[in-house]
């Protein structure tokens, strides 16, 4: 293997790939990146056995094909610290990778490419195309509600449901639920559901950084793959059945409240300072045109706020985990939030006023 490449051309895909490489591993090869050079195309692969990311770059200069694995972080740090617009000459010499640039010389240890675990090809698949900005929006609107290290392992991820021209994401930790829909180029008429694990979800959001470009998504029984001109990302799926989220969505709520989203968010932020640090409970009292927020803690401290709302109906008093309400208001972008309730014991349904593409459910708590 021998090739020359501009620093910037190597650094961009290398930084993408290094994001999935774990620093500490029982298998030394997993802290390496796999370099494969074939027909003027250099591919770089990083994996932790749960997710895999392949970055690609086409070389302009003639090159000698080959494959090897080298320490990902060290190679990236070398590239980062070389001067801008440097030219790197990279050559494999007796299981050492030699990197030269100007007056700089580096020698890196290697491990054989045959030791590197590669994901299998995806077969029996469901494929579609989606705008990168839409997929990132979908993840940002819902991923905060994923469970963390729950024994119900199927909750520790994001459920994606593909139907005709629509991709839906749903996340829940058993106390709250987030749901959002976006348009996608899906021609299939039957619905297809998969559960993407937390790391796969966060990596996908990181990679979808070009709002004007598209990604090709492939789903199988065990993997999700996202492909663009620059990279191929693959993640294992969670093997399990996601709960019937439709049953959780409150129906027939007749008490509709609209409120300025920023005003409510800021009032919650201030009131939350004096909530019980363990339970994070906050009391909401809905009255005509007024919402009162109250919090207290075991130190006998308390906080009260009032927010003007658009509501005419019976008085309601409910308790909620303040963090759950803050998370929802933080991902919304509309100026007005819409709250829908049935009674004091029912779940709260939240959405943006005038936009039903995203919906959020929060269970009340006893205070």
Q: Where are the domains of the chain?
A: 2-115, 126-246, 249-362
Q: Per-residue pLDDT for 171 more than 80?
A: yes
110-to-34, 97, 158 alpha-carbon distances in Å = 10, 7, 36
Per-residue pLDDT at 50? 94
Tokens coding 209: 């950084």
Pick the CATH number of 126-246 from 3.40.50.150, 3.10.150.10, 3.40.50.620, 1.10.10.10: 3.10.150.10
2-115, what's its fold?
DNA Polymerase III; Chain A, domain 2 (3.10.150)
Per-residue pLDDT at 84? 96
Q: Per residue in 312-326, pLDDT tens?
A: 999 999 999 999 999
126-246 matches 249-362 in fold: yes
Q: Per residue in 200-216, pLDDT tens?
A: 999 999 999 999 999 99
Per-residue pLDDT at 271? 98
Q: Per-residue pLDDT for 23 more than 80?
A: no
Please tell me the pTM assigned to this model.
0.93
Q: Give mean pLDDT, residues 156-166.
A: 97
Strand, helix or coil at 173?
A: coil
Q: What does R_g of the chain's alpha carbons equal in angstroms?
A: 25
Instruction: For the chain, give the mean pLDDT.
Output: 96
Q: Per residue in 353-362, pLDDT tens?
A: 999 899 999 9
- Tell me how far apart the 2 most distant CA atoms of the chain are, in Å: 80
| HSE-CB for 79 with a 13 A CA cutoff | 21
CATH number for the domain whose boundaries are 249-362: 3.10.150.10
């Amino acid at each position: 293997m021998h090739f020359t490449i501009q620093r910037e051309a190597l650094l961009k895909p290398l930084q993408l790939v290094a994001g999935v490489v774990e620093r500490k591993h029982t298998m030394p090869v997993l802290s390496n990146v796999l370099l494969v050079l074939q027909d003027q195309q250099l591919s770089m692969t990083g994996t932790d056995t749960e997710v895999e990311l392949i970055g690609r770059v086409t070389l302009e200069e003639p090159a000698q094909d080959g494959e090897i694995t080298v320490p990902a972080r060290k190679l990236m740090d070398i590239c980062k610290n070389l001067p801008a617009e440097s030219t790197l000459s990279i050559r494999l010499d007796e299981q050492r990778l030699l990197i030269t640039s100007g007056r700089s010389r580096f020698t890196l240890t290697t491990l054989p490419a045959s030791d590197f675990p590669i994901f299998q090809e995806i077969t029996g698949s469901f494929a579609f195309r989606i705008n990168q900005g839409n997929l990132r929006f979908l993840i940002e609107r819902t991923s905060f509600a994923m469970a963390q290290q729950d024994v119900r392992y199927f909750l520790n991820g994001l459920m994606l449901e593909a139907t005709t021209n629509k991709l839906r994401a749903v996340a829940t930790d058993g106390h709250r639920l987030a749901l959002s829909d976006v348009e996608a180029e899906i021609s299939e008429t039957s619905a297809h559901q998969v559960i993407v694990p937390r790391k796969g979800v966060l990596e996908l959001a990181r990679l979808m950084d070009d709002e004007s470009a598209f990604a090709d998504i492939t789903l199988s029984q065990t993997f999700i793959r996202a492909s663009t001109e620059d990279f191929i990302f693959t993640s294992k799926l969670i093997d399990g059945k996601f709960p019937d989220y439709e049953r959780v969505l409150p129906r027939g709520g007749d008490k509709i409240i609209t409120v300025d989203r920023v005003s409510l968010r800021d009032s919650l932020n201030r009131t939350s300072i004096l909530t019980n640090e363990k339970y994070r409970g906050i009391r909401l009292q809905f009255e005509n045109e007024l919402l009162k927020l109250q919090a207290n803690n075991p130190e006998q401290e308390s906080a009260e706020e009032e927010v003007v709302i658009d509501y005419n109906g019976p008085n309601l008093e409910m308790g909620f985990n303040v963090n759950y309400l803050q998370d929802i208001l933080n991902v919304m972008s509309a100026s007005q939030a819409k709250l829908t309730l049935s009674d004091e014991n029912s779940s709260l349904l939240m959405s943006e006023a005038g936009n039903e593409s995203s919906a959020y459910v929060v269970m009340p708590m006893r205070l």
